[in-house]
Amino acid sequence: MPQVVRIPAPSVAFPTLQVSSRDAKTLEIVSDAHVLDTLEHYQEFIRDHKECVDRKLWRKVRSRHGVRAYRERRKAAARRERFEKSGSSSVPSITSPRQGLKKTCRLCCDRVCSRCRVTKHVGCITALDDQDVVVSTSMSFCTRCIHRASHVSAHFFSQTSSMFAHC
């Protein structure tokens, strides 16, 4: 059995923290609020995204009390590093060229086959040169995102419609 070698740490490396009881209570309240806020954001994410996790990119590590922890898969991490070194991004962004394709979902940017694709005609009223103009376009969504698409904000719609106005 290998012998464990313990290196003594000098006492000055980690000095004792002196905190008043009032400050300790304040720190405890702030940390509890931070944890509750983080859990609330997590529950909101789960509710909005319906626990859609790309199993090719993420591996579930641990689950406790309804909270799931994931880590990036090694192949996905290596692919992301290659894309970052080449100057492109593996994460779809608002400037992603894949969003312009008719066979991609406008929300998740995944390719969608014709059988799974749902096309919705979306319109909104925008103020252009002090006049109200109705802007409308057809958008393709995958079956996973179609429910989220009905709750898309006008801000998202204006970004995508202005981005593809030249197409």
Hunting for tokens 């692919």 — which residue is that? 79
Phi–psi pair at 76, nearest 5 degrees: -65, -40
pLDDT at residue number 124? 64
pLDDT at residue number 143? 75
Number of Cβ within a 10 Å radius of residue 119? 11
Hunting for tokens 């998202």 — which residue is that? 156
Q: What is the pLDDT along the chain (167 residues), one digit of tens a residue?
A: 566 666 666 666 777 788 899 999 998 999 999 888 888 877 777 677 666 666 677 778 888 877 777 777 776 566 666 555 555 444 444 444 444 445 777 777 777 777 777 777 666 666 666 666 666 667 777 777 777 777 766 666 666 555 444 33
| DSSP code per residue over 39-108 | HHHHHHHHHHHTT---TTTEEEEEEETTEEEEEE-HHHHHHHHHHHHHT--SS--TT-GGGGSTTB-TTT
pTM: 0.30
